[in-house]
């Protein structure tokens, strides 16, 4: 047989060459990574303040004592996230649809949608939390309606719904006009065209972008600590004051990362999958 076309392993010449290249690239990557890690491990402890930093940020004893409490406080973050997320999705969708109405009688809705997204995308989240979280209970509402959990959550919902609305609207715009034409040619009205043809495709297209919004929301729940709720960030602050040590903050950071890194990776994976599907 013609030995020039395939090698002993049955690989084509090209495949054998590429396998060699991959192995070589892996060796180089492993070598350079090891060198950098080694340098960090050896050099950082040589810094003059390292001992002090280690004691106040990476104190194993404090970490072990405070970590269970931090985990428990993180449940509060999860609760707040869990009731905010669906409300944000619904309000975001409503606002996006408001901005898409064509009927002249509904123009006020359109105007409202535009002003809403402009205002809430234009303000820092923390400012909205302060204004809503301190302002509304200031009306002298009776318990439980003066709870910072309620009004803090409302602030998050208002801000994030504005972003989600814009994302959904860009999804609606991304659906090609030929889909609307096909729906119209079948006699479907505008409402049914939106509900059955445009929206399902639009929402699927922007799912990864919305995922990223919800990851950001998960982090921003910590901002509610500024108006009262004892969630993980605030709890870490309490521990810091009690023990005069910053390690609880590092613990809190680890807990956040344990949630956000897998979630971000998953969103990236979704986005990549979508890009592949389109080509």
Q: Is 197 in the site for other proteins (CB under 8 A)?
A: yes
Q: Find the binder of other proteins among 20, 23, 204, 265 (CB under 8 A).
A: 204
- Interacting residue with other proteins among 2, 4, 178, 279 (CB under 8 A): 178
Nearer to other proteins, 7 or 189 (CB): 189
182 scored as a contact of other proteins (CB under 8 A): yes
Tell me the DSSP string of the chain.
Answer: --TTTB-TTS-BHHHHHHHHHHHHHHHHHHHHHHHHHHHHHHHGGGSTTHHHHHHHHS-HHHHHHHHHHHHHHHHHHHHHHHHHHHHHHHHHHHHHHHTT---GGGHHHHHHHHHHHHHHHHS-HHHHHHHHHHHTGGGTPPTTTT-HHHHHHHHHHHHHHHHHHHHHHHHHHHS-HHHHHHHHHTT--HHHIIIIIIHHHHHHHTHHHHHHHHHHHHHHGGGGGGGS---HHHHHHHHHHHHT-SHHHHHHHHHHHHHHHHHHHHHHHHHHHHHHHH-
> Taking CB under 8 A as the rule, does residue 279 contact other proteins?
no
Of residues 83-142, which lie at the interface with other proteins (CB under 8 A)? none
Tell the smallest beta-carbon distance from residue 190 to other proteins (Å). 9
Binding flag, residue 10, other proteins (CB under 8 A): no
Q: How far is the CB of 240 from other proteins (least distance, A)?
A: 50
Nearest to 229 by CA among 64, 66, 86, 75: 75
Smallest distance from other proteins to CB 137, Å: 44
Please, which residue, 13 or 204, has the CB nearer to other proteins? Answer: 204
Of the candidate residues 179, 241, 258, 269, the single one contacting other proteins (CB under 8 A): 179
Stretch that binds other proteins, among 53-61, 189-197, 252-260, 267-275 (CB under 8 A): 189-197
Binding segment toward other proteins, per CB under 8 A, in 49-57, 104-112, 122-130, 194-202: 194-202
Stretch of residues binding other proteins (CB under 8 A), selected from 3-11, 52-60, 192-200, 223-231: 192-200
273 contacts other proteins (rule: CB under 8 A): no
Rounded to 5 degrees, φ, ψ at 100 are: -105, 0
Provide, rounded to whole angstroms, the least separation between the CB of residue 42 and other proteins.
55
- At residue 140, φ and ψ (nearest 5 deg) are 80, 35
Residue 12 or 179 with smaller CB distance to other proteins: 179
Is position 185 an interface residue for other proteins (rule: CB under 8 A)?
A: yes
Residues that bind other proteins (CB under 8 A): 178-179, 181-189, 192, 196-197, 200-201, 204
């Amino acid at each position: 047989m013609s030995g020039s076309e395939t090698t002993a392993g049955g690989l084509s010449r090209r495949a054998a060459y590429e396998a060699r290249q991959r192995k070589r690239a892996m060796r180089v990557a492993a070598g350079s990574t090891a060198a950098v890690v080694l340098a960090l491990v050896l050099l950082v402890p040589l810094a003059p303040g390292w001992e002090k930093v280690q004691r106040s940020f990476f104190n194993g004893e404090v970490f072990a004592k405070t970590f269970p409490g931090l985990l428990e406080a993180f449940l509060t973050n999860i609760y707040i996230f869990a009731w905010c997320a669906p409300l944000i999705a619904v309000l975001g969708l409503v606002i996006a649809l408001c901005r898409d109405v064509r009927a002249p009688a509904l123009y006020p809705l359109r105007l409202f949608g535009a002003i809403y997204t402009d205002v809430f995308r234009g303000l820092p989240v923390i400012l909205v939390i302060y204004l809503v979280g301190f302002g509304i209970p200031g009306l002298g509402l009776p318990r439980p309606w003066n709870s910072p959990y309620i009004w803090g959550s409302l602030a998050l919902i208002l801000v994030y719904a504005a972003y989600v609305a814009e994302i959904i609207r860009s999804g609606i715009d991304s659906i090609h006009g030929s889909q609307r034409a096909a729906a119209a040619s079948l006699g479907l009205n505008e409402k049914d065209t939106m509900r059955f043809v445009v929206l399902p495709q639009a929402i699927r297209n922007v799912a990864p972008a919305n995922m990223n919004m919800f990851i950001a929301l998960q982090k921003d729940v910590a901002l509610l600590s500024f108006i009262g709720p004892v969630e993980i960030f605030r709890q870490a602050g309490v521990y810091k004051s009690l023990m005069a040590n910053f390690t609880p903050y590092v613990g809190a950071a680890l807990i956040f990362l344990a949630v956000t890194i897998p979630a971000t990776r998953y969103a990236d994976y979704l986005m990549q999958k979508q890009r592949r599907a389109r080509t």
